[in-house]
């Protein structure tokens, strides 16, 4: 088990080094991409500040709390993109039949297509976000260790749900060769979490909490930190995270059985 973990860590490390080298081949281009991501982050923040300054609160949340939800959303969104970027490059492998070469290798194909190329450009954005988060923690003044524990626990749970979504998209890609729009549909759905999900009306709120759990993924860590989640809700949230992962893994196995290697 330990040896296996060491092997996968080594593979991930080598693939990440390669991916970083490719991304940083053109430093000007890398700079422009990071700048673009940063501008996108700032633009929506300006919108949120303008909005909540005008309306005083957003469904009862103050400006700093709303920004905290936005930071948490970006942390998860950027984190999943950083580690799972390879899924965005999976379609050509299926269409060309080159996925066969990955299936033949003595390692998990799922690991390879999920984590086969971390994105350094997202890493830079993530560092900026972490600074923002630390600033919020200092300014907001919550000192309870339990709040921090629950926040990071549900953040990890959110990442798990993000992994589950990516596995599901990869599985759909194996069966149908359609990935590009499906992954962007996931991104669009998850963007509902840029603001606290409480602002949405029913039945949308129920849908994005329990059916497609982007609400649990994006909003619940911040809600837990602010002391707005009950213990039963925390347990249900963690259970849904594990269930989502198990479901996506079984769907992935199913999709592999349907793979026809058509173009190879």
Partner 1 sequence: MKKYYLIILSTIDEYIAYVLNFVMWRVRVILRLLVVYFLWSAIFSGNKTVFGYQQNEILTYILLTPLISSLITGSKSDIGSEIHQGNLANYLLRPLSVFKYWLTKDLADKLLNITFSIIELSVLVLLLKPDLYWQSNLQNLFLFTLSLVLSLILYFFLNNSLGFLAFWTADYWGPRFLVLVIQEFLAGGIFPLDILPRPLFIFSLVTPFPYLSYFPLSIYLGKHDLIFTMAGIGITCFWIFFFYQLSFWLWRRGLRKFSAEGR
Cβ–Cβ < 8 Å for 222, 141: no
d(CA 13, CA 22): 14
Query: Among candidates 112, 122, 120, 123, which has minimal Cα distance to 87?
Result: 112
- Interaction of residue 103 with partner 1, rule CB under 8 A: no
- Smallest separation, CB 161 to partner 1 (Å): 18
Given 65, 182, 209, 248, the residue binding partner 1 (CB under 8 A): 182
Q: Of 69 and 151, which has the nearer Cβ to partner 1?
A: 69
Tokens coding 85? 């970027």
- Interaction of residue 21 with partner 1, rule CB under 8 A: no
d(CA 179, CA 111): 17
- Smallest separation, CB 188 to partner 1 (Å): 5
Given 92, 152, 180, 235, the residue binding partner 1 (CB under 8 A): 180
Piece of 11-19, 199-207, 222-230, 246-254 that binds partner 1 (CB under 8 A): 199-207
Q: Of 48 and 150, which has the nearer Cβ to partner 1?
A: 48
Residue with tokens 């259970």: 239
Residue with tokens 């950027």: 78
Piece of 44-52, 82-90, 156-164, 220-228 that binds partner 1 (CB under 8 A): 44-52
Q: Count of alpha carbons within 13 Å of 18, Cβ hemisphere only? A: 10
By the 10 Å C-beta count (0-12 exposed, 13-18 middle, 19+ buried), 103 is classed as exposed
Residue with tokens 């982007």: 214
Question: For 192, which DSSP code?
Answer: G
- Interaction of residue 55 with partner 1, rule CB under 8 A: yes
Tokens coding 178? 């359609």
- Interaction of residue 63 with partner 1, rule CB under 8 A: no
- Interaction of residue 59 with partner 1, rule CB under 8 A: yes
Given 50, 144, 239, 261, the residue binding partner 1 (CB under 8 A): 50
Piece of 76-84, 138-146, 180-188, 220-228 that binds partner 1 (CB under 8 A): 180-188
Binding mask 149-168 for partner 1 (x = CB under 8 A): --------------------
End-to-end CA distance of the chain: 34
d(CA 231, CA 96): 48
Cβ–Cβ < 8 Å for 201, 220: no
Residues 74-93 that bind partner 1 (CB under 8 A): none
- Smallest separation, CB 204 to partner 1 (Å): 6
Residue with tokens 């626990």: 153
Cβ–Cβ < 8 Å for 162, 73: no
User: Which spans of this chain sit near partner 1 (rule: CB under 8 A)?
Assistant: 26, 28-29, 32-33, 35-37, 39-40, 43-44, 46-47, 50-51, 54-55, 58-59, 176-178, 180-182, 184-185, 188-189, 191-192, 195, 199-201, 204
């Amino acid at each position: 088990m330990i040896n296996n973990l060491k092997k996968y860590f080594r593979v991930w490390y080598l693939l990440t080094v390669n991916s970083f080298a490719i991304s940083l081949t053109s430093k000007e281009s890398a700079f422009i991409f990071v700048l673009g991501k940063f501008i996108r982050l700032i633009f929506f923040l300006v919108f949120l500040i303008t909005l909540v300054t005008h309306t005083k609160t957003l469904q009862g949340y103050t400006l700093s709390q709303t920004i905290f939800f936005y930071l948490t959303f970006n942390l998860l969104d950027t984190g999943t993109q950083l580690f799972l970027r390879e899924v965005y490059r999976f379609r050509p492998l299926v269409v060309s039949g080159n996925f066969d070469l990955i299936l033949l290798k003595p390692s998990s194909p799922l690991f390879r297509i999920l984590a086969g190329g971390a994105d350094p450009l997202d890493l830079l954005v993530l560092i900026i976000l972490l600074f923002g988060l630390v600033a919020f923690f200092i300014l907001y003044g919550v000192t309870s260790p339990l709040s921090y524990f629950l926040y990071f626990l549900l953040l990890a749970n959110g990442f798990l749900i993000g992994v589950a979504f990516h596995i599901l998209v990869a599985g759909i890609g194996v069966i149908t060769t359609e990935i590009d729009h499906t992954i962007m549909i996931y991104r669009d759905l998850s963007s509902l979490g840029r603001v606290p999900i409480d602002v949405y009306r029913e039945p949308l709120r129920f849908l994005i909490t329990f059916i497609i759990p982007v609400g649990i993924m994006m909003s619940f860590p911040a809600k837990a930190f602010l002391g707005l989640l009950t213990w039963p809700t925390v347990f249900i949230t963690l259970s849904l995270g594990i269930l989502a992962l198990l479901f996506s893994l079984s769907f992935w196995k199913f999709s592999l059985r349907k793979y026809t290697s058509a173009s190879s």
